């Protein structure tokens, strides 16, 4: 599903050029659950942004579903993104002014799904996540665990092929964290590919494979199953 | 999708109440100003357009130079009929004669002074659109003793509109039969009469081509241009005016007349332009001024712009709060276009809310505005299609204007950066924001300087040495109704305690009194070289002392000299015509018989110091006093603390002599102020709008300083822990804004100086613009800005630093 080859990304300030990704290469197959680990500043987030089509690499190739996407412009990336990729963030990133229902509904609006269909699909996914009863609440009225479940619901409502999770349990206590990890595992078992950046060895154990990075390079890769 | 936008927009409004209130309030205030001014401007522009044939109706203006130049809206009584008779392109003419001023009409046992009266040709109903409710427009004014009255007048005199066949009696005992009832003439007309008397009346026939006393209107045939008719005027003059002028002035041709520096010119003036573009004295109603229409329109636009800028500045300054939302929406697949649409719909929603509020504000403030602007604008006017459509479209335009920059700015955020929070958002767009703040304050400062200059000029006018003393002078109106008794009335009032002096004369150096212009000669033969135009005022012996005027040569009129009936006292401007030196003892001559050209001589016995008898917009022209009976007004110089007591005395005296005529009086200083109503109105309106402009600008500054203080809260905390004083912090936070106000001041100064100098050019007598005005305006703007900003600066600086840092 994803093949990156010699991927490079630099950050420049006036005087120094920092290498964020240094000729990184790996593959992720459809249906896989991959965890990416490494210390702060090793390039995990940069990688995730590129994989999520939020950012463009400076070099190398990135093939997504058989299409070379490096060099795509913003509009093309946005289009590919909204149909294929769901995001889960450490800080949930729900829109405070919208209710749970409306937050989950947003991706469907942007992909042009009709009102009636949107309602059914949002209800379905809220039901599945066990937050149906909270659908008319605003994010601030929910606990952290509930907020992250809303975020996951929003990430999957469009049935994306790929979910990118950036430390999804980072802001949660362990029991809420485990719930979220269980959810992701369920989704993965239902066929969704998941790439997750994490600091937590515990969370990483839910994945099939751990890629460890340092200074923009892959250092080890352990297959867990 | 739109639903989602509006939902987010609405909740955003509620969530950031301070921000929303500042924005909506600022927009509402400025939109209300905008609506008020729009109503004013639309009304000003609508004058005389209700006449169905308005585009074909012209008034004949005359420009006459005989020594003095005169620009009159008059022609002779013969010109209208002659033009129609000789030139087939003239479809119809109508003359209006108002030179008699008011009329006293009987109602029951008393007489009421009516000012909205005129004599008019019966064609007035054909040329103008003045619908009759009853009566036949073709014949209504044919009979010499007929009158057409308005609905209001009918209600006033007969408490009924069924008035055809009734009669109205004037003080002279003449009875006029009511032959028509007309709808009240709309307020947006350059004439508004309640009584139209027949023109077919011997008293008002002059029958020559050189006495200019009639407002004459021509209705041109379809397809005829004004230029075509104007081209005929020379022909008209040669055939009709010159033969008469020849006799009076001893000239043989128009060329000879013109070579001597004289001029007689006729021109056509479209009636739709009279209200705003005519600056002639003796218009039927005082007009407006297109310049003020432009000024007010510009002010309205600028205030709206200031409010739009508030919106831009506040939106971009608090972008930090919206950035995350933008990031998330982009991650979820929103295109930039959709975000721009979202932010624009938010701006429009806000503008629409502001518009509702603005209509409310307009409704509440309209009576006060009408009072100041001397208008009768109605709130219903805004629901008429032309303005309504405009008001419905306006929120979209304002939304687009105010929202486009924030929309482009906000939608341009990169999701990767905003979601990681490593974007210094408040600082972004800072330069542009600063430019906008400078613009706002520069505009406000210009308005403040303008207001100061207008007020200073008014103050100058009111306190200028006018050459006469207008203080403590009571003017009793309409004393001619006392007839032969008028001098007795004057003498008896003079005997009352508290009365210092008194005079009987219809001629006063304030508006609302008589004027009479005549041609004089400084030699015993009237020639083009020797003749000059001069005001000729009829006064009595007590006039000069009562008015507090100063004689610079010779003596005042006196009963001791019987020859004073053929004597004249000149003002300095008239004396100057004789060149330098003493003029006492010299003579001036005036035509006393137009048929024969016979002259009468007057000996100059004195020269009075120049005094202002027209507004300070004009130079002081030549003027001569002559002794005679002019009983129109009685003026009394009062020397008493208790003026009301004196007034009661005068009124009792009046009632004992006047047999039921109404007593009316005015104070001369008030009558003087009357001449500067336009400027006073301008001053008040300018004051109000400049205050509103600065208020709206400060709303924005208040909002902006809130966000900046919030953004720097951590910095403030750290600085405080490191030992910064509250004072030092307030300075640090205020400094940036004050810098902007100072730049605005520097930008505003030359612009304001230029604009106000232009305005002052209208006055021959005017103030010099002082640097103090600028200093005052700058100081005012700076203090208001400082007060606004320091509220937040002090609040932020006083906060417990530990609390600020903990939130990190």
Tell me how far apart the alpha carbons of residues B482 and B480 are, in angstroms, rounded to a whole number: 5
Strand partners, B197: B119, B147
pLDDT at B808: 36
Question: CB-based burial of residue B281 (10 Å sphere; 0-12 exposed, 13-18 middle, 19+ buried)?
Answer: middle
What radius of gyration do chain B's Cα atoms show? 34
The candidate with the shortest Cα–Cα distance to B66, out of B344, B239, B262, is B262
Enclosing H/E stretch for B614: none
Q: What is the mean pLDDT of chain B?
A: 85
The 3-state DSSP class for residue B551 equals: strand
pLDDT at B420: 65
Nearest chain A CA: its distance from B322 CA (Å): 10
Which chain A residue has the Cα nearest residue B332?
A: A107
The candidate with the shortest Cα–Cα distance to B357, out of B726, B798, B27, is B27
pLDDT at B535: 87
Tell me how far apart the alpha carbons of residues B344 and B240 are, in angstroms, rounded to a whole number: 69
Span B761-791, pLDDT tens digits = 888 888 888 899 999 989 988 888 888 888 8
> Could you tell me if B540 and B505 are in contact, meaning their C-beta atoms sit under 8 angstroms apart?
yes
Question: CB-based burial of residue B279 (10 Å sphere; 0-12 exposed, 13-18 middle, 19+ buried)?
Answer: exposed
pLDDT greater than 80 at residue B363: yes
* pLDDT tier for residue B800 given thresholds of 50, 70 and 90: low
Residues of chain B with Cβ-Cβ distance to A167 below 8 Å are none
**Highest averaged pLDDT of the listed ranges B148-157, B737-746, B779-788:** B148-157
Mean of the pLDDT values across residues B115-135? Answer: 92
Tell me how far apart the alpha carbons of residues A221 and B706 are, in angstroms, rounded to a whole number: 51
Strand partners, B169: B175
Nearest chain A CA: its distance from B703 CA (Å): 21
Residues of chain A with Cβ-Cβ distance to B422 below 8 Å are none
Token pair of B117, please? 């009266």
* pLDDT tier for residue B807 given thresholds of 50, 70 and 90: very low
Mean of the pLDDT values across residues B409-423? Answer: 73
pTM, 2 dp: 0.75
Angle between helices B771-798 and B713-721 (to 10 degrees): 70
The candidate with the shortest Cα–Cα distance to A28, out of A10, A9, A52, is A52
Looking up tokens 């100086």 gives B753
Nearest chain B CA: its distance from A103 CA (Å): 10
pLDDT greater than 60 at residue B566: yes
What percentage of residues in chain B have a pLDDT greater than 70? Answer: 94
Mean of the pLDDT values across residues B107-130? Answer: 89
pLDDT at B503: 94
Q: How many other CB atoms sit within 10 Å of the CB of residue B474? A: 20
Phi-psi region of B553 (alpha: psi -120 to 50; beta: other; left: phi over 0): beta
Residues of chain B with Cβ-Cβ distance to A81 below 8 Å are 331, 333
Which chain B residue has the Cα nearest residue A73?
A: B335
Tell me how far apart the alpha carbons of residues B183 and B134 are, in angstroms, rounded to a whole number: 9
Report the complex ipTM: 0.73
pLDDT greater than 80 at residue B430: no
Token pair of B469, please? 């003393």
Residues in CB range of B273: below 8 A, 6 or more apart:
none
Which chain A residue has the Cα nearest residue B333?
A: A82
Mean of the pLDDT values across residues A3-31? Answer: 87
What percentage of residues in chain A have a pLDDT greater than 70? Answer: 100
A54, A84, A90, A151: best mutation site toward chain B, by most B Cβ within 10 Å? A54
Mean of the pLDDT values across residues B703-724? Answer: 74
B12, B332, B342: best mutation site toward chain A, by most A Cβ within 10 Å? B332
* pLDDT tier for residue B364 given thresholds of 50, 70 and 90: very high
pLDDT greater than 60 at residue B425: no
> Could you tell me if A21 and A8 are in contact, meaning their C-beta atoms sit under 8 angstroms apart?
yes
pLDDT greater than 70 at residue A170: yes
Residues in CB range of B70: below 8 A, 6 or more apart:
B63, B64, B517, B533
pLDDT at B803: 61
pLDDT at B428: 54
Range in B63-72, B278-287, B338-347, B518-527 the model is least confident about: B63-72
What percentage of residues in chain B have a pLDDT greater than 90? Answer: 32
> Vertex B513, ends B509 and B518: CA angle to 5°?
80
Tell me how far apart the alpha carbons of residues B500 and B241 are, in angstroms, rounded to a whole number: 49
The candidate with the shortest Cα–Cα distance to B672, out of B477, B463, B374, B506, is B463
Range in A121-125, A161-165, B39-43, B286-290 the model is least confident about: B286-290
Mean of the pLDDT values across residues B684-708? Answer: 83
The candidate with the shortest Cα–Cα distance to B315, out of B349, B360, B358, is B349
pLDDT greater than 50 at residue A24: yes
Looking up tokens 């336009």 gives B678
Tell me how far apart the alpha carbons of residues B124 and B93 are, in angstroms, rounded to a whole number: 8
Token pair of B235, please? 């022909």
The bridge status of strand B517-521 relative to strand A67-68 is unpaired
Tell me how far apart the alpha carbons of residues B54 and B52 are, in angstroms, rounded to a whole number: 6
Mean of the pLDDT values across residues B736-741? Answer: 86
Span A58-88, pLDDT tens digits = 889 999 988 898 888 877 888 888 889 998 9
Residues of chain A with Cβ-Cβ distance to B328 below 8 Å are 93-95
Tell me how far apart the alpha carbons of residues B103 and A189 are, in angstroms, rounded to a whole number: 103
Token pair of B426, please? 């408040």
* pLDDT tier for residue B283 given thresholds of 50, 70 and 90: confident
The bridge status of strand A59-64 relative to strand A2-12 is antiparallel
Q: What is the dihedral of CA B493, B497, B500, B502, to 10 degrees?
A: 0
Tell me how far apart the alpha carbons of residues A142 and A125 are, in angstroms, rounded to a whole number: 17
Tell me how far apart the alpha carbons of residues B203 and B217 are, in angstroms, rounded to a whole number: 21
pLDDT greater than 90 at residue B590: no
Please tell me the number of Cα atoms within 13 Å of B411 on its side-chain side. Answer: 19
| Contact residues, chain A to chain B, C-beta under 8 Å | 45, 49, 52, 54-55, 74-75, 78-79, 81-83, 87, 89, 93-98, 102, 106-107, 109-111, 154
* pLDDT tier for residue B68 given thresholds of 50, 70 and 90: low
Range in A189-203, B550-564, B584-598 the model is least confident about: B584-598
Span B218-263, pLDDT tens digits = 999 999 999 999 999 999 998 998 887 777 667 777 777 777 777 8
* B550 φ/ψ angles, rounded to the nearest 5 degrees: -115, 130
The candidate with the shortest Cα–Cα distance to B66, out of B600, B585, B581, B590, is B590
pLDDT at A81: 84
pLDDT at B802: 61
pLDDT greater than 90 at residue B671: no
Token pair of B463, please? 């306190």
Mean of the pLDDT values across residues B281-290? Answer: 80
Strand partners, A196: A35, A165
Token pair of B149, please? 């009255």
> How many residues can be counted in chain A?
225
Mean of the pLDDT values across residues B439-444? Answer: 88
């Amino acid at each position: 599903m994803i093949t990156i080859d010699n991927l490079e990304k630099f950050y420049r300030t006036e005087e120094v050029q920092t290498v964020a990704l240094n000729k990184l290469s790996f593959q992720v197959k459809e249906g896989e659950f991959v965890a990416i680990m490494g210390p702060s500043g090793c390039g995990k987030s940069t990688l995730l942004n590129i994989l999520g089509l939020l950012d463009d690499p400076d070099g190398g190739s990135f093939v997504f579903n058989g299409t070379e996407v490096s060099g795509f412009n913003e509009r093309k990336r946005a289009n590919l993104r909204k149909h294929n990729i769901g995001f889960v963030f450490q800080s949930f990133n729900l829109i405070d002014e919208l209710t749970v229902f409306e937050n989950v509904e947003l991706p469907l609006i942007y992909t042009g799904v009709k009102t009636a269909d949107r309602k059914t699909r949002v209800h379905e996914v809220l039901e599945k996540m066990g937050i149906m009863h909270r659908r008319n609440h605003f994010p601030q009225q929910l606990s952290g665990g509930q907020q992250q479940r809303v975020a996951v619901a929003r990430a999957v409502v469009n049935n994306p092929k790929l979910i990118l999770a950036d430390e999804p349990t980072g802001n949660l206590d362990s029991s809420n964290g485990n719930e979220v990890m269980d959810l992701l595992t369920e989704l993965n078992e239902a066929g969704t590919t998941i790439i997750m950046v994490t600091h937590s060895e515990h969370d990483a154990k839910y994945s099939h494979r751990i890629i460890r990075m340092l200074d923009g390079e892959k250092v080890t890769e352990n297959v867990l199953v | 999708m739109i639903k989602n936008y509006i939902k987010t927009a609405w909740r955003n409004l509620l969530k950031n109440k301070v921000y929303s209130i500042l924005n909506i309030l600022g927009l509402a205030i400025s939109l209300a100003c905008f609506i008020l001014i729009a109503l004013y401007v639309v009304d000003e522009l609508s004058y005389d357009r209700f006449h169905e044939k308005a585009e074909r109706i012209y008034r004949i203006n005359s420009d006459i130079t005989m020594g003095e130049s005169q620009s009159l809206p008059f022609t002779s009584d013969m010109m209208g009929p002659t033009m129609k008779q000789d030139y087939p392109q003239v479809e119809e003419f109508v003359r209006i004669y108002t030179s008699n001023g008011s009329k006293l009409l009987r109602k029951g046992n008393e007489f009421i002074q009516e000012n909205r009266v005129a004599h008019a040709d019966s064609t007035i109903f054909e040329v103008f659109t003045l619908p009759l409710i009853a009566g036949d427009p073709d014949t209504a004014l044919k009979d010499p003793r007929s009158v057409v009255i308005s609905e209001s007048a009918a209600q006033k005199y007969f408490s009924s509109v069924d008035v055809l066949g009734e009669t109205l009696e004037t003080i002279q005992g003449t009875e006029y039969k009511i032959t028509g009832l007309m709808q009240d003439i709309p307020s947006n007309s350059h004439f508004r009469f309640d009584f139209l008397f027949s023109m077919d009346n011997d008293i008002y026939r002059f029958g020559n081509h050189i006495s200019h006393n009639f407002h004459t209107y021509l209705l041109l045939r379809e397809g005829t241009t004004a230029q075509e008719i104007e081209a005929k005027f020379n022909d008209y003059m040669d055939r009709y005016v010159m033969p008469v002028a020849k006799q009076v002035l001893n000239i043989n041709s128009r060329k000879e007349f013109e070579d001597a520096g004289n001029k007689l010119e006729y021109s056509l003036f479209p009636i739709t332009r009279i209200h705003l573009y005519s600056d002639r004295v003796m218009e039927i109603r005082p007009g407006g001024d297109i310049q003020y229409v432009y000024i007010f329109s510009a002010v309205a636009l600028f205030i709206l712009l200031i409010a739009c800028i508030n919106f831009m500045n506040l939106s971009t300054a608090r972008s930090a709060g919206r950035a995350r939302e933008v990031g998330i929406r982009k991650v979820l697949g929103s295109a930039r276009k959709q975000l721009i649409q979202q932010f624009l719909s938010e701006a429009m929603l806000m503008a629409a809310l502001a518009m509702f509020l603005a209509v409310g504000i307009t409704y509440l403030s309209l009576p006060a505005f009408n009072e100041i602007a001397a208008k009768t604008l109605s709130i219903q006017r805004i629901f008429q299609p032309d303005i309504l459509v405009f008001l419905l479209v306006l929120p979209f335009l304002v939304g687009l204007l105010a929202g486009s920059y924030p929309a482009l700015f906000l939608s341009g955020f990169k999701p990767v950066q905003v979601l990681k929070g490593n974007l210094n958002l408040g600082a972004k767009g800072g330069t542009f924001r600063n430019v906008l703040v400078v613009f706002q304050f520069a505009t406000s400062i210009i308005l403040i300087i303008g207001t100061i200059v207008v007020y200073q000029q008014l103050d100058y006018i009111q306190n200028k040495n006018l050459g006469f003393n207008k203080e403590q002078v009571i003017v009793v109106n309409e004393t001619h109704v006392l007839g032969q008794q008028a001098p007795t009335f004057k003498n008896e009032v003079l005997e009352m305690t508290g009365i210092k002096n008194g005079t009987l004369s219809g001629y006063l150096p304030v508006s609302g009194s008589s004027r009479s212009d005549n041609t004089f000669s400084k030699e015993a033969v009237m020639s083009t070289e020797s003749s000059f135009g001069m005001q000729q005022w009829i006064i009595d012996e007590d006039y000069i002392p009562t008015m507090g005027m100063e004689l610079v040569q010779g003596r005042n009129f006196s009963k001791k000299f019987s020859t004073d009936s053929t004597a004249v006292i000149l003002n300095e401007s008239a004396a100057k015509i004789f060149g330098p030196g003493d003029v006492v003892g010299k003579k001036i001559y005036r035509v006393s018989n137009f048929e024969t050209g016979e002259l009468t001589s007057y000996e100059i016995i004195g020269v009075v110091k120049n005094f202002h008898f027209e507004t300070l917009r004009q130079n002081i022209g030549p003027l001569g006093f002559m002794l005679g009976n002019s009983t129109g007004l009685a003026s009394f110089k009062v020397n008493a603390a208790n003026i009301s007591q004196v007034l009661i005395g005068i009124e009792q005296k009046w009632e004992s002599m006047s047999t039921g005529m109404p007593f009316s009086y005015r104070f001369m200083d008030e009558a003087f102020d009357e001449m500067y109503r336009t400027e006073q109105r301008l001053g008040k309106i300018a004051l109000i709008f400049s205050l509103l402009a600065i208020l709206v600008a400060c709303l924005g500054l208040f909002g902006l300083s809130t966000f900046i203080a919030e953004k720097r809260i951590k910095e403030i905390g750290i600085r405080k822990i490191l030992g910064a004083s509250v004072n030092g912090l307030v300075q640090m936070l205020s400094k940036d804004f004050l810098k902007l106000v100072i730049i605005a001041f520097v930008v505003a100064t030359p612009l304001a100086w230029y604009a106000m100098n232009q305005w002052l050019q209208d006055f021959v007598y005017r103030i010099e613009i002082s640097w103090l005005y600028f200093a005052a305006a700058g100081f005012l703007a700076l203090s208001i800005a400082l007060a606004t900003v320091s509220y937040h600066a002090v609040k932020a600086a006083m906060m417990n630093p530990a609390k600020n840092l903990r939130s990190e």
